[in-house]
């Protein structure tokens, strides 16, 4: 498969992270999740992490400048990539366009009620970091990681009230990206409710086209 430069769009809980990992495994593209990178910065207590945590804990978007500086350096040295969680605003998309041309923007659509249902059921292992979901990937004991036996906990940004705010923030700040990429002729949309395997197959069709 030729090298591709792909952006995944969609509300929190739409499956962008899961699908980006699956597509990266099948295509060899670099998967870059700004959410994972930001949480790593928070866990290590870096300057960026301390600044970002204030926004993440409220469910607000991390300011453009913090994200742009982090992402630009990482994609400059690679060919093909699939971005998950970036860009989230039109200014971020414009900054990305100044660095590299996006060839395909895939918008995964999903309603607010389903987003809240999915994300409020997410649990993270304190020991190994594996993410479980009490709806789709339920461990035998909902408080214990099925991989390492570590304690499972709910992240602050996976509480229902924060999720609702995240969705509203997405609608206002991120949804305009759909129009941004539509105007450039690279936007494709897929239904996020069709299930993981069906969604993966559909995205692979778009990536391979």
Catalytic-residue membership of 74: no
Catalytic-residue membership of 39: no
Question: Taken in order 91, 96, 97, 99, is the CA torsion positive or negative?
Answer: positive
Beta bridge partners of 151: 144
Q: Nearest to residue 74, comparing CAs of 34, 106, 112? A: 34
pTM above 0.95, yes or no: no
Question: Could you say which of 4, 5, 88, 123 is catalytic?
Answer: 88
Catalytic-residue membership of 123: no
pLDDT of residue 107: 95
pLDDT of residue 94: 93
Question: Could you say which of 4, 118, 122, 123 is catalytic?
Answer: 122
Q: In a structure prediction context, what are the per-residue pLDDT tens digits for the chain, which is 209 residues long?
A: 456 899 999 998 898 988 999 999 999 998 988 777 778 778 888 887 888 888 888 888 788 778 777 777 677 777 789 998 889 889 889 988 988 889 999 999 999 999 999 999 999 999 999 989 999 888 999 999 999 999 999 998 899 999 999 899 888 887 889 999 999 999 999 999 998 899 999 999 999 98
Residue 5 carries which DSSP code? E
Question: Taken in order 139, 40, 21, 97, is the CA torsion positive or negative?
Answer: positive
Question: Could you say which of 4, 16, 39, 123 is catalytic?
Answer: 16
- Asked: is 5-110+174-208 a CATH 3.40.50.300 domain? The reply is yes
Q: Could you tell me the two tokens for 189?
A: 């949309």
């Amino acid at each position: 498969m030729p090298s591709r430069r792909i952006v995944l769009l969609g509300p929190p809980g739409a499956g962008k992270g899961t699908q980006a990992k699956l597509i990266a495994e099948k295509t060899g593209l670099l998967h870059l999740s700004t959410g994972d990178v930001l949480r790593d910065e928070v866990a290590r207590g870096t300057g960026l992490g301390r600044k970002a945590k204030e926004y993440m804990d409220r469910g607000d978007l991390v300011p453009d400048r913090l994200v742009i500086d982090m992402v630009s350096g990482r994609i400059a040295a690679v060919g093909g990539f699939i971005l998950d969680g970036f860009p989230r605003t039109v200014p971020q998309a414009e900054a990305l366009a100044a660095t590299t041309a996006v060839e395909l923007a895939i918008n995964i659509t999903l309603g607010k009620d389903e987003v809240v249902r999915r994300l409020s059921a997410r649990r993270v292992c304190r020991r190994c970091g594996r993410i479980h979901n009490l709806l789709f990937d339920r461990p035998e004991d909902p408080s214990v990681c099925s991989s390492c036996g570590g304690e499972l906990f709910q992240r602050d940004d996976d509480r229902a009230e924060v999720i609702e705010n995240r969705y509203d923030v997405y609608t206002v700040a991120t949804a305009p990206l759909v129009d941004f990429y539509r105007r450039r002729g690279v936007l494709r949309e897929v239904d996020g409710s069709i299930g993981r395997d069906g969604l993966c197959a559909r995205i692979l069709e778009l990536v391979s086209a």
